[in-house]
Amino acid sequence: MQIDPPYLMFLGDVPDKLAAKTAYGIVDWRREWCLGQVRLPGCQADLSLPDVTVKDAHAKGARTMIVGIVNAGGVLNPGWVPTIVEALETGMDVASGLHIRLDSNPEIAAAAKAHGRKLHDVRMSDQHFATGKGTKRQGRRLLTVGTDCSVGKKYTVLALEKVMRARGLDADFRATGQTGVFISGRGVAIDAVVADFISGAVEWISPAAESPDHWDLVEGQGSLFHPSFSGVTLGLLHGAQPDAFVICHEPTRKTMRGVQHPLPSIQEVIDLTIRCGQLTNPAIRPVGIAVNTQALGEEEARAYLAGLEKEYGLPATDPIRFGVEGIVDRVVADFPATPA
Burial of 94 (C-beta count, 10 Å sphere; 0-12/13-18/19+) = buried
**Residue extents of the structural domains in the chain:** 7-121, 140-334
Q: Is the pLDDT of residue 150 over 90?
A: no
Residue 8, SS3?
strand
What is the pLDDT, as a whole number, of residue 1?
A: 66
pLDDT category at 185 given cuts 50, 70, 90 is confident
Same fold, 7-121 and 140-334: yes
Amino acid, res. 69: I
DSSP state of 317: E
What's the rounded Cα separation, in Å, for the pair 285 and 333? 13
Alpha helices in 176-251 (DSSP H): 178-184, 198-205, 230-240
Whole-model pTM? 0.86
Lowest mean pLDDT among 21-25, 213-217, 295-299: 21-25
User: What does the pLDDT look like over 38-59, one tens digit per residue?
Assistant: 999 999 999 999 999 999 999 9
User: What does the pLDDT look like over 93-109, one tens digit per residue?
Assistant: 999 988 889 999 999 99
The CATH architecture that domain 7-121 belongs to is 3-Layer(aba) Sandwich (3.40)
pLDDT category at 69 given cuts 50, 70, 90 is very high
Q: Give me the phi and psi of 38, to 5 degrees please.
A: -120, 125
Amino acid, res. 51: D
Q: Is the pLDDT of residue 277 over 80?
A: yes
What is the pLDDT, as a whole number, of residue 301?
A: 98
The H-or-E segment that residue 284 falls in is: none
Q: Is the pLDDT of residue 11 over 80?
A: yes
Lowest mean pLDDT among 18-22, 227-231, 241-245, 327-331: 18-22
CATH topology classification for 140-334: Rossmann fold (3.40.50)
Burial of 109 (C-beta count, 10 Å sphere; 0-12/13-18/19+) = middle
Contact indicator for 328, 237 with CB cutoff of 8 Å: no
Chain mean pLDDT for the chain = 95
